[in-house]
A and B are shown apart, each in its own frame.
Chain A
Amino acid sequence: MNGLTVAPSPHRSTKLSTSMIMLNVVIALLPSAVAGTVIFGARAALVLLVCIASCVIFEALTRKLMKKEQTISDLSAVVTGLLLGMNLPSSIPIWMAVIGSFVAIVIVKQLFGGIGQNFANPAIVGRIVMMLSFTAFMSSWPVPFWYKLGADVVTGATPLAAGAGSISYIDLFLGNCGGCIGEVCSIALLAGGLYLMAARIISPAAPAAFIGTVALMTLITGGDVLFQILSGGLFLGAFFMATDYATTPLTNKGKVIFGIGCGLITFVIRNYGNYPEGVSFSILIMNLLTPYIDRLTQLTPLGAKKPAAKEA
């Protein structure tokens, strides 16, 4: 009798898949995305949807042009789009959001080989390119619930630009402040991050090291610790971008080093740099160091012996 399946062991496998992981990340991002929409109005939802749609379409088109298998069903483009949108002010012109999506998906992700191969976080590079290209639009922040005040957008400073003491902790925690769509509501981001940790999709190592370092450095320099932690993009970056698989180290030790590096750079930029916020730059710089961190933190397996130095 023939027609038997011959395959390498094991012959069982987990039900988990890449698309399920990505779906979980989307679910974890939703509370903050919804909060952003409530705070900044329907325009915020439009920005998010445009980013998601253009990321998915750009991915499909690039894969088609490159004659590669379609990968949009793995939902990673949805995650990139959602993350990018959450990193933009709700007043951003739509065409600029589309350009950001192009940079993220086509240049950073697909030209480097697609999912798992990109050296930097696509959403972060998309945001940074937009920040450098459209600085004025990227630093104009509608105030919370402006749509209730009248027909015209009212803008104001972000807490980081205004400085500590400009806003109460409770407003920072709930997101009643200016900023990017998905970065303001700390409690929603915290809930999403904890959900991903509970589902063992992300490790707490990098977010804990990142936030912890910012807190520690602020404490040492006599700053307002709670204010520094809750403002800006720290929670969004720490929970959702410093935990990106492809662009952060593999081992927990590496993730801690990555998080500490992000925290230090963020602290320096926030306090001494030209920009009020440094989370994006810090993650990008650490993305570039990730291969080296991986090399330095290679695990020693149980029972490993150093390779014999001399060969006859």
Chain B
Amino acid sequence: MKTLSGIHISHDKRTENKETALFPLPDEVLIPMSQHMGAPCEPVVKKGDLVTVGQKIGDTDAFMSAPIHSSVSGEVTAIEDFLNTNGTVCKAVRIKSDGKQTVCPDITPPEITDRDSFIHAVRESGLTGLGGAGFPTHIKLNFDAVKTPIDTLIINAAECEPFITSDYRQLMEDPTDVIEGVLMVQKFLGIPYCKICIEGNKPAAIRLMKEKTADIGAVSVVTLPQQYPQGAEKVIIYTAVKRIVAEGELPSNQGVMVMNVSTVAFIKKYADTGMPLVSRRLTLDGDAMTKNQGNYTVPIGTPVSSLLSYTGAEDAKAVLYGGPMMGITLYDTAQPVLKNNNAVLAFRELKKPKMTECIRCGTCIRTCPLHLMPVSIENAYNARDVEELKKLHVMLCMNCGCCSYACPAHRNLAEINQLAKALIPRPKKK
């Protein structure tokens, strides 16, 4: 099996044996209306409304979106503007918890009988990709079975980022949810095969999943090489089924669908309970956290400052949504936990060695899983040469960060790639 390039980085899975605990209920949550790729929701509650756990508080008619639900019971104290880490502004609902966690009376297990009712139920659950990208799950499930039939469901349990163990805990604690979620997706969408892909640094999970799927012929477990970034969608597809998703294509064009392991497990849970996505499993770690590092079920909207004080990380100098390779730095600890966070990491400092001139060593080229040429892209970007950037296929870059990591001159190559992408005019929609 040919392995795509990448980097070897310390795993730091220090919380892998920390069983998931319930995080203490915060006094207040702030729930942004944009926690997914696509159109933000509009709040459907107003200031002064009393809400319950699981009650829908945001929705939209836009196709590419997912509804948002309250994670606590209590009173809406404000509808305010919220600055996302990507620089956009959306509405956010601030709710003061009454501490009772009264469950919304409308919540009942959804009726799922066929493909349409299954996809509808997933939409109503507010589910978005829990691995990080936040792609609305119901859109992914609603592929065109005639034009782009899918033969293989790939379950992404690579969890290739250092520190993060939330998907690992999902596998170890609720393997049945994972498998039954997989079987539901296969059944209602007619996908014959499934490959559960786990990076080799999680032997216990691989053993457990192999055991649990031993009797299911259509489901197999794949051990991924121990190299970052195994969990990147294009990489995992290549490793698992040897197919290449080309520029501008979706995985469905290649007959595959990739779902994060926690995402698929949530589908099963929702089918059983009808409780929408109002909390999620989160890894809390990083050298600024002095106590209580581990995995927690945290209500969506919990301010990160609560996580920091619980873990003794009040004096953290840098806080990340996600892992150190692709994670996003927070600008304020008042920012809330979002649906697509799988970890919040707090560090005493984010050390970055001094940047020096490019020496053209070509390390960035050798480490890029997709064989891009970051050194040439940087030159073309500096010259604002859009034609050259197109020829270098910068749009393929997944921002995995291998080039920046490996660069001995410590240049921000991955960042340059993203800036270069912005120079390329988007193709007009047909």
Alpha-carbon distance A156/B214, docked complex (angstroms): 78
Number of A-B contacts (CB under 8 A): 162
- Chain A contact residues: helix, strand, loop or mixed: loop
Alpha-carbon distance A107/B66, docked complex (angstroms): 62
Instruction: Mark the stretch among A95-103, A173-181, A245-253 that contacts chain B.
Output: A245-253
Instruction: Answer yes or no: A301 CB below 8 A from chain B CBs.
Output: yes
Given contacts A11-B327, A312-B428, could you give 4 more A-B pairs where the C-beta distance is less than 8 Å?
Answer: A18-B356, A74-B356, A299-B373, A304-B247
Contact assessment for A250 and B362 in the assembled complex, using a CB-CB cutoff below 8 Å? yes
Instruction: Answer yes or no: A7 CB below 8 A from chain B CBs.
Output: yes
When A12-B9, A251-B365 are in contact, do A114 and B357 touch as well, CB less than 8 Å? Answer: yes
Instruction: Answer yes or no: B391 CB below 8 A from chain A CBs.
Output: yes
Interface string of A1-24 (1 = CB under 8 A from B): 111111111111110111011000
Contact assessment for B396 and A10 in the assembled complex, using a CB-CB cutoff below 8 Å? no
Instruction: Please give me the residue from chain A that is nearest to B409 by CB atom.
Output: A18
* B interface, size bucket: 35 or more
A290, chain B: closest CB distance, angstroms: 10
Q: Inside 8 A of B412's CB, which chain A residues have their CB?
A: 8
Alpha-carbon distance A126/B131, docked complex (angstroms): 56
Q: Inside 8 A of A71's CB, which chain B residues have their CB?
A: 356-357
Instruction: Please give me the residue from chain A that is nearest to B403 by CB atom.
Output: A10
**Chain B interface residues (CB < 8 Å from chain A):** 4, 7, 9, 162, 234, 238, 244-249, 305, 314, 316-320, 324-334, 347, 349-350, 352-353, 356-362, 365, 368-373, 375-376, 390-393, 396, 399, 401, 404-410, 412, 414-415, 418, 428
Q: Inside 8 A of B373's CB, which chain A residues have their CB?
A: 250-251, 298-299
Number of interface residues of A (CB under 8 A): 42
**Chain A interface residues (CB < 8 Å from chain B):** 1-14, 16-18, 20-21, 71, 74, 76, 114-117, 203, 245-246, 250-251, 294, 298-305, 307, 312
Contact assessment for B248 and A11 in the assembled complex, using a CB-CB cutoff below 8 Å? no
B228, chain A: closest CB distance, angstroms: 9
Q: Inside 8 A of B360's CB, which chain A residues have their CB?
A: 116, 245-246, 250
23 intermolecular pairs with C-beta atoms under 8 Å apart:
A4-B317, A4-B330, A6-B330, A9-B324, A9-B325, A9-B401, A17-B408, A18-B356, A18-B357, A18-B408, A71-B356, A115-B359, A203-B362, A245-B359, A245-B361, A250-B360, A250-B373, A294-B376, A299-B365, A301-B396, A303-B370, A305-B246, A305-B247
Contact assessment for B359 and A1 in the assembled complex, using a CB-CB cutoff below 8 Å? no
Alpha-carbon distance A305/B392, docked complex (angstroms): 11
B164, chain A: closest CB distance, angstroms: 13
Q: Inside 8 A of A11's CB, which chain B residues have their CB?
A: 318, 320, 324-325, 327, 329, 347, 350, 352
Contact assessment for A13 and B329 in the assembled complex, using a CB-CB cutoff below 8 Å? no
B305, chain A: closest CB distance, angstroms: 7
Contact assessment for B350 and A7 in the assembled complex, using a CB-CB cutoff below 8 Å? yes
Residue among A5, A6, A117, A251 with the most chain B CB within 10 A?
A: A5
Contact assessment for B359 and A4 in the assembled complex, using a CB-CB cutoff below 8 Å? no
Contact assessment for A10 and B332 in the assembled complex, using a CB-CB cutoff below 8 Å? no
Q: Inside 8 A of B406's CB, which chain A residues have their CB?
A: 14, 16
Q: Inside 8 A of B391's CB, which chain A residues have their CB?
A: 298, 307
* Cross-chain contact of B372 among A5, A21, A117, A301 (Cβ < 8 A): A301
Alpha-carbon distance A116/B407, docked complex (angstroms): 14
